[in-house]
Structure 1
Amino acid sequence: MDRKSHSSGDAWSSMQALYGAALPSGDGGGTPTLFAVHKTEDNDKGYYGFMATMDVYGYNLNGGQMSSAAIWINNDEGDWKQDLDAITVGWLDKSSGDWLLHYGFNSAPAVVGHFPASLFDSLSKKATDIMFGGHVRYAKGVSSPAMGSGAFPSDKAASFWDLQLIDEDGNSIPIQNDLPSLVTDKSSYSISPIEGAKFSYGGPGGKSA
């Protein structure tokens, strides 16, 4: 089933199911997974990396709860129900096909790991889209956890900033304009538009499965 034959709504639903199934859980993917994320636009040239600075918040989670900020990089060309290539962080060394994970806070980013090209099929060439934001997971019988700082988008909410995409020549391009977003439970979580290469996201959760 070719990805271009889907409507945007169908594509979001399918991606939600695929990414949800890829997250760790104790019941084979049957627990609820909720998102508040942005997604890049379709681009025939593809994407070769992504950069962002993320807030990190710590709070107590109950058993069966998971909450995180994440970046998803994938290539879903071809039969994407069977051949989806995806990783959660990184950017490409164009000549090798490897995806490199850099980390740096108040300093120049340094390579801390990599995903070899040999692990992938299509993703060793380029990414077709990138998603970034927050997601939570929770088991049946417990309530959904807080996302980000636990606050809806505001000055007190978690945020991504200094958003940049990497092109095939290694150039970084700030994301100044808003991108499509997905919020799967608007009563519990939200995400702001991208403005000035920054957005905020999150919410208190509290819904039972």
Structure 2
Amino acid sequence: MDVYGHNISAGHIITSIWIANMEGDPKTDENAIWVGWQVDPKKYGDSHTHFFTSWTRDTYHTGCYDMDCPGFQLVKGSKIAPGGTIQPVSHVHGVRQKITIKMFREKSTGNWWIHYGFNKAPTPVGYYPAKLFDKLSKKATQISIGSIVGGSPSIPSPPMGSGFLPSDKAALITNISLIGEDGRMTPFTVNTDRLQSKSSCYSISPIQGAKCSYGGPGGCSA
């Protein structure tokens, strides 16, 4: 994922991988893990870009971001912890800074491992124990990749990605691969559904050649 920074005073910007088990009632039974980068002044007290993780086992009635509650197990020697600042960030007319994220379920334990790399191959950060979940510890049923922004009715929505709609200036997600049950990584070639809530402000390209571009200037009202 290209990593960008935006100086915002309200709202939030998220780019992430979302892995979930959606069996059962979606209002109460969603098991999910989110991993990526975000800018969220309310949460972090600044407008920096942060590496983040999040989890739930009951559609966000419980669970939390980063290490705000018991759950995520940080491994010794990790280069970053959930909530850590990512620096430097990309510039539209300059160098692109990238993070690589690898997520997989360990078959022997059901634990979900997260690896992270900044402009290099990912190394282990830690894992979510299988006991946190009632379904995701056995399998995932849905994977999503993309970005979400949030704001308030009185403030125009923030930019997404680089601030440009899909183009050569837009943010990229590249080398998208799928880890199968056997642990092997293969190029991402499966069919996908594209979801855009307000395409005049934000858009994402189809995944082609294991990559996509996304983003937008924002400025929309809720």
- What is the TM-score when the length of structure 1 is the normalising length? 0.71
Identity percentage of aligned residues: 54
Contact between 1:76 and 1:85, CA under 8 Å: does it hold in 2? yes
Report whether the alignment pairs 1:57 with 2:4: yes
Which residue of 2 is the match for residue 194 of structure 1?
Answer: 207
Q: Which residue type is aligned with residue 156 of structure 1?
A: K
Which residue of 2 is the match for residue 147 of structure 1?
Answer: 160
Which residue of 2 is the match for residue 34 of structure 1?
Answer: none
Contact between 1:188 and 1:206, CA under 8 Å: does it hold in 2? yes
Which is helix-richer, 1 or 2?
1
Structure 2 unaligned spans of 5+: 36-102
Q: After TM superposition, what 4+ stretches of structure 1 lie above 4 angstroms from structure 2?
A: none
Which of 45, 53, 74 is the equivalent residue of 2:20? 74
Residue 166 of structure 1 deviates from its aligned partner by 0.8
Deviation string, structure 1 residues 82-134 (Cα, Å, up to 9, x no partner) = 11101103321111100011012343321101100010010001100101101
Which structure would you say has the larger RCO, counting Cα contacts within 8 Å and 6 or more residues apart?
1
Q: Secondary structure at the residue paired with 2:176?
A: strand
Contact between 1:178 and 1:193, CA under 8 Å: does it hold in 2? no
Map 1:8-27 onto structure 2 (within 5 A): none
Residue 179 of structure 1 deviates from its aligned partner by 1.6
Which residue of 2 is the match for residue 208 of structure 1?
Answer: 221
Residue 78 of structure 1 deviates from its aligned partner by 2.1
Taking structure 1 as reference, are residues 125 and 95 closer, same or farther at Cα in structure 2, changes over 3 Å only?
Answer: same
> What value does the CA root-mean-square deviation take over the aligned residues?
1.3
Structure 1 unaligned spans of 5+: 1-53
Structure 2: how far apart are the matches of 1:107 and 1:60? 26
Structure 1: how far apart are the matches of 2:143 and 2:133? 16
Structure 1: how far apart are the matches of 2:189 and 2:135? 28
Map 1:49-198 onto structure 2 (within 5 A): 54-63=1-10, 65-89=11-35, 90-176=103-189, 179-198=192-211
- What is the TM-score when the length of structure 2 is the normalising length? 0.67
Q: Which residue type is aligned with residue 57 of structure 1?
A: Y
Structure 2: how far apart are the matches of 1:208 and 1:82? 29
Taking structure 1 as reference, are residues 123 and 68 closer, same or farther at Cα in structure 2, changes over 3 Å only?
Answer: same
Residue 177 of structure 1 deviates from its aligned partner by 5.3
Structure 1: how far apart are the matches of 2:121 and 2:203? 31
User: Number of paired residues?
Assistant: 155
